[in-house]
Structure 1
Amino acid sequence: MANLFATKPLSLLSKEAHEEGEHTLKRSLGPVNLITLGIGAVIGAGIFVLTGQAAALYAGPAVALSFVLAGITCAFAGLCYAEFASIIPIAGSAYTYGYATLGEFVAWIIGWDLVLEYAFGAATVASGWSGYLLSLLEQLNLRPSPSLARFTTTYGNEIYLYHGKWQSAVALPSSVPLAGLPHVTGVFNVIAFVAIVMVTAVLVIGIKESANLNSAIVIVKLVIVGIFLFLGIGYLMHHPDLAKMNWHPFIPPSQGSGHFGLQGIAAGAASVFFAYIGFDAVSTAAQEAKNPQRDMPIGILGSLVVCTILYIAVSLTLTGLVSYKVLNVAEPVAVGIDATGITWGSLLVKIGAVFGLGTVMLVMLLGQSRVFFSMSRDGLLPKWASDIHPKFRTPWISNIVVGTIVAFLPALLPIDKLSQLVNMGTLLAFAIVSAGVWILRVRQPDLPRPFKTPLVPLVPILGIVSAFYLMFNLPALTWIVVGVWLVVGLVIYFGYSTKHSKVQKLPAHLTSGRG
């Protein structure tokens, strides 16, 4: 049983970090690439997709406070991630950090959990991307016919044709009788499926090409978010009564089970936490950074600060423009900008969302394939998951397998279920990384740390407590699905991984936690 908690020696991790050749990942990312990689993941899903959902279901206009709460939790975890990324510049993120400090069994659990996190993360964004693309096409008078509309939404979801747009029932005014509207029932979301397939193809071609594409789109995306804020705030300044009406009450009365009230703010924070996993994904690219000891903390913390400020501004503007009650849709920002009546602004925001959400899918799938890669190199998953393409220098088989599986998720499952399933993995990863920093400080206090988390153990303890607090505010379905997923993972671990683990074959004195 002791072998289950064997740790991966830091000396071995350091050796892997400095390996070169055609069978290793290519170091080609600088600090700008890493910051834009983080912003590419963070600015997208949260702003363009989840802000509306969290406002409508949990926090109302106080969703801005949910982002503040989530951002504080992220700050604790982000400081811990930055320290680990500077010490251990290896692909794998929280999985690798857990392996070095808490042992193989804990590392397996978090690695397996991260696979679920990134899979559902990419799927959630693909679902939102589909909604924005459809909204953009309809604004360009390219509305799909009823026979085609069935393939633009998930299985069993009913959408209605109202004012030239296919919309779900929650997006329609309550006064509109549904019985009199043309409607279809979804079969398979082909748009979301194709989106994942295209992003997977980009990742197979190469990390440098992916990062450069991401950087270019991030600039476009930030400009678009700026336009939304400029137009939205300008409109509200000329219509102050609208904001006053939509923001009242700022914290809607509690309806129980985390719906509104103070508990709703916490539930909203747990819901939007998915929006912050971008800086987590930055750490999975550590093995492809040119100077990881310096650049990883910059990428992680820089992207976190920029994105938190933008989230708060956008959520306040959005809930001021339209009632939070109608925002539980795949394209809430499109609904908000349409309310201003500024046609060109609406068009630009939708174009920005289509491109912007593409970068989020890219970073999510990048993160998942790198976790697969790391687990495979350690012998915990089959060798094919760590095979590197001789020309592109990417884990191409892992990318293709992961991309294929993930492509079916947004095509079949609704967006609200997808996003809830992501957050458990994120929060568990944050708790483990925070604990890992504290443990490593105790075990190896003299270890060189290019970046040091301040106020240890206070910051790691706050990271652990805040993560578990938000976990307990997630819906019961999330706990059930994650529990089933972990049972499947344990079957694989005890059936395959323990027999092929490279670390368990090392001498015991190297894996005792002080190697």
Structure 2
Amino acid sequence: MSSILRRIVARKPIDSVQKEINEAEYKRPLNAWDLTCIGIGTTIGAGIFVLTGTAAKDYAGPAIILSYIISGVVCIFACLCYAELGSTLPVSGSAYSFTYAALGELLAWIVGWDLMLEYLVGSATVAVGWAYYLDTFVTGFTADGKSLFDQRFTNAPFIWLEASDTVAAGFYMNKVPCRPGSDELCQAYFNFPAFFIVVAITILLVIGIREAAWFNNTMVVIKIVVCILFVLTGIKFINNANYTPFIPPAQEYGHYGASGIFQASVSVFFAYIGFDAVTTTAQEAANPQRDLPIGIIASLGICTILYVAVAAVLVGMVPYSTISRGAPVGQALIDVGLPAMAVIISFGALVGLSSVLLSSLIAQPRIFYSMAYDGLLPSAFAKIHPKTGTPYVTTIVSGTVCALLSAFLPVDVLGNLASVGTLSAFFLVSVSTLVLRITQPDLPRKFQIPGGFWIGGMLIPFLSAFSAAGLFSQATIPAIIRVFAWMGVGLVVYFSFGFWHSRVGLGISTGGEPAAAGSKAAKA
């Protein structure tokens, strides 16, 4: 038992992290602007263009503004922790690698497994939102305002319903109009647009990171312009009556009231997921120690300002009870008599959501690569294409899984699952920052959280961990159960494969000490 415990708490030596950096076959074409755009590209998307509708309508009402601010504060603390660790350990594993070096193998595995919720499940959420906005965009060109798509092939076959007076929580078959404009209902089969966009983005990412970055940078500029355009247009249609009551009274199932604000914070926390994706491209950055903190902090700052502004205008334009769940921003413009502007915004949302997909699907394969490099996943996942310099095997696997999730599962359950999973990763990254400040005080840190040892090294990481844990506790019980069930599956996978193939673990078994990745002990 003692040997097993020693194995699962073994930390990855810092020198092996440096070895991984030196051995990687990645190309390094990315600069600070590219990294900032990856952060913005991953962040601004489904959270503001899709989930705002569900969070305002079902949880917080106009107080969705406070929900965004609460989630933003949590992310500011976590952002500083990521910036410090990213400049200290500039490897593509992000939170997984940070936790491995600070807290040990088992917790690192759990973080890496949870990051699949953030990036794979999160990408699927974005793809579902992309399909909604494609429908809104195309419908804007029709004379009668009716959808041209067969809804059976643009919707998931299942929907998730929370507990209410009439239904029990769970999955239900999704019934949609059999034909455009028909009152007859048929079973939905497959979300083809969501599936298609994920496949297209995956192909682009296999081609190369430089090409993907150029495409992403262009899309980021477009969606920032669209967000500003929505705010400047919508502010003229704000009705102050829509802000009353600002915090609707609590309902039987925890919606609205103070608890509703925090539940909405968990839901829209998904909107802030993305700045951490910058760290997954560390080994493809020309100067990661300098540029990673710039990309992380700049992307979060820009996104927070835009989120609060868009949310404030949205709930002022239309009553929260009438906000669309699928395409809240575009539908709000239609509701105030601006269908042409809704088409423009829907196009911007399509572009924005495409960049989120691209950036998220950049991140996940690189985490898989780091886990495979450490022996916790099959070695095929650590293959880099000799010509393009991309982890092509993990990119194809990630894209395939994401495409299937987006085709068959609904947006609300996906979004909540991704948010709660990411909060657990943020918690452990914050703890890792604190632990490394204590156990490795002399590590070269190109960026340190301001405030010296006690404020920057102790207080801010503690507040980050405490905030993430507090927000996690406000999630719905079904969401928490689903995440712990996911962790349980992850533990089965770890003890079935990763435990027996871990390079660090093999080093302990043969030499008594954790071996640097790539050493003879690790390859034994």
CA distance in 2, matches of 1:46, 1:115: 18
Aligned-pair distance for 1:340? Answer: 2.9
1:314 equivalent to 2:306? Answer no
1:209 equivalent to 2:211? Answer yes
CA distance in 1, matches of 2:177, 2:57: 20
CA distance in 1, matches of 2:408, 2:264: 25
Aligned-pair distance for 1:245? Answer: 2.1
1:286 equivalent to 2:282? Answer yes
CA distance in 1, matches of 2:95, 2:512: 23
Residue 138 of structure 2 contacts residue 148 of structure 2 at CA under 8 Å; is this kept in 1?
A: no
Any idea what SS the aligned residue of 2:441 has?
coil
Residue 57 of structure 1 contacts residue 328 of structure 1 at CA under 8 Å; is this kept in 2?
A: no
Residue 135 of structure 1 contacts residue 165 of structure 1 at CA under 8 Å; is this kept in 2?
A: no
What residue number does 2:501 align with? 500
Question: Closer, same or farther in 2 for the Cα pair 1:294/1:235, shift >3 Å?
Answer: same
Aligned-pair distance for 1:327? Answer: 2.5
What residue number does 1:150 align with? 152
Match of 1:259 among 249, 255, 258: 255
Deviates further, 83-92 or 390-399: 390-399
Aligned-pair distance for 1:277? Answer: 1.2
CA distance in 2, matches of 1:337, 1:396: 41
CA distance in 1, matches of 2:334, 2:187: 25
Deviates further, 85-94 or 317-326: 317-326
What residue number does 2:23 align with? 19
- 1:503-514 superposed matches below 5 A: 503-506=504-507, 507-510=511-514
Aligned residue pairs: how many? 487
Any idea what SS the aligned residue of 2:427 has?
helix
Any idea what SS the aligned residue of 2:81 has?
helix
CA distance in 2, matches of 1:441, 1:256: 45
What residue number does 2:54 align with? 53
Aligned-pair distance for 1:5? Answer: 0.9
CA distance in 2, matches of 1:417, 1:80: 28
CA distance in 1, matches of 2:486, 2:514: 31
Aligned-pair distance for 1:149? Answer: 2.3
Query: Identity of counterpart residues, as a percentage?
Result: 45
Aligned-pair distance for 1:29? Answer: 0.8
What residue number does 2:236 align with? 234
Letter in 2 for 1:198: A
Match of 2:348 among 352, 357, 371: 352
Aligned-pair distance for 1:359? Answer: 0.7
Deviations 1:396-449 (A, max 9, x none): 111111211111112111111110110122101110010001100111112111
Aligned-pair distance for 1:509? Answer: 4.5
Residue 12 of structure 2 contacts residue 105 of structure 2 at CA under 8 Å; is this kept in 1?
A: yes
Any idea what SS the aligned residue of 1:150 has?
helix
1:3 equivalent to 2:7? Answer yes
Residue 118 of structure 2 contacts residue 273 of structure 2 at CA under 8 Å; is this kept in 1?
A: no
Deviations 1:44-92 (A, max 9, x none): 1221111111101111011010010000000111100000000000001
1:476 equivalent to 2:489? Answer no
Deviates further, 391-400 or 152-161: 152-161
Question: Closer, same or farther in 2 for the Cα pair 1:440/1:257, shift >3 Å?
Answer: farther
Aligned-pair distance for 1:132? Answer: 0.2
Structure 1: gaps of 5 or more residues: 167-179, 237-242
- 1:125-140 superposed matches below 5 A: 125-140=126-141
Deviates further, 284-293 or 320-329: 320-329
CA distance in 1, matches of 2:26, 2:482: 33
Normalising by structure 2, what TM-score? 0.90
What residue number does 2:116 align with? 115
CA distance in 1, matches of 2:60, 2:284: 39
Letter in 2 for 1:8: K
Aligned-pair distance for 1:510? Answer: 5.0
CA distance in 1, matches of 2:38, 2:148: 37
- 1:60-209 superposed matches below 5 A: 60-141=61-142, 148-155=150-157, 156-159=173-176, 181=183, 183-209=185-211
1:446 equivalent to 2:451? Answer no
Aligned-pair distance for 1:479? Answer: 2.0
Residue 376 of structure 1 contacts residue 386 of structure 1 at CA under 8 Å; is this kept in 2?
A: yes
Deviations 1:123-172 (A, max 9, x none): 100000000001111111295567x22101111323459xx987xxxxxx
Deviations 1:170-189 (A, max 9, x none): xxxxxxxxxx9454442111
What residue number does 1:36 align with? 37
Match of 2:220 among 197, 218, 221: 218
1:460 equivalent to 2:477? Answer no
Deviations 1:281-306 (A, max 9, x none): 11111111111100111111111111
Residue 28 of structure 1 contacts residue 288 of structure 1 at CA under 8 Å; is this kept in 2?
A: yes
Residue 109 of structure 2 contacts residue 494 of structure 2 at CA under 8 Å; is this kept in 1?
A: yes
Letter in 1 for 2:11: T
Question: Closer, same or farther in 2 for the Cα pair 1:231/1:204, shift >3 Å?
Answer: same
CA distance in 1, matches of 2:177, 2:337: 22
Question: Closer, same or farther in 2 for the Cα pair 1:256/1:29, shift >3 Å?
Answer: farther
Any idea what SS the aligned residue of 2:44 has?
helix
- 1:332-351 superposed matches below 5 A: 332-351=328-347
Match of 1:250 among 201, 224, 246: 246
Any idea what SS the aligned residue of 1:285 has?
helix
What residue number does 1:407 align with? 403
- 1:379-390 superposed matches below 5 A: 379-390=375-386
Deviations 1:471-502 (A, max 9, x none): 11112222222222222211221111111111
Residue 155 of structure 2 contacts residue 189 of structure 2 at CA under 8 Å; is this kept in 1?
A: yes
Residue 420 of structure 1 contacts residue 478 of structure 1 at CA under 8 Å; is this kept in 2?
A: yes
Question: Closer, same or farther in 2 for the Cα pair 1:252/1:188, shift >3 Å?
Answer: same
1:396 equivalent to 2:384? Answer no
Deviates further, 182-191 or 284-293: 182-191
Deviates further, 75-84 or 501-510: 501-510
Deviates further, 224-233 or 337-346: 337-346
CA distance in 2, matches of 1:376, 1:510: 17
CA distance in 2, matches of 1:136, 1:57: 25
Any idea what SS the aligned residue of 2:273 has?
helix
Residue 31 of structure 2 contacts residue 291 of structure 2 at CA under 8 Å; is this kept in 1?
A: yes
Letter in 2 for 1:126: A
CA distance in 1, matches of 2:56, 2:206: 37
1:423 equivalent to 2:424? Answer no
Any idea what SS the aligned residue of 2:45 has?
helix
1:302 equivalent to 2:302? Answer no
Question: Closer, same or farther in 2 for the Cα pair 1:368/1:77, shift >3 Å?
Answer: same
Residue 35 of structure 2 contacts residue 291 of structure 2 at CA under 8 Å; is this kept in 1?
A: yes
Residue 58 of structure 1 contacts residue 268 of structure 1 at CA under 8 Å; is this kept in 2?
A: yes
Q: CA RMSD in A?
A: 1.9
Residue 117 of structure 2 contacts residue 418 of structure 2 at CA under 8 Å; is this kept in 1?
A: yes
Aligned-pair distance for 1:234? Answer: 2.2
Residue 324 of structure 2 contacts residue 331 of structure 2 at CA under 8 Å; is this kept in 1?
A: no
Any idea what SS the aligned residue of 1:474 has?
coil
CA distance in 1, matches of 2:322, 2:280: 36
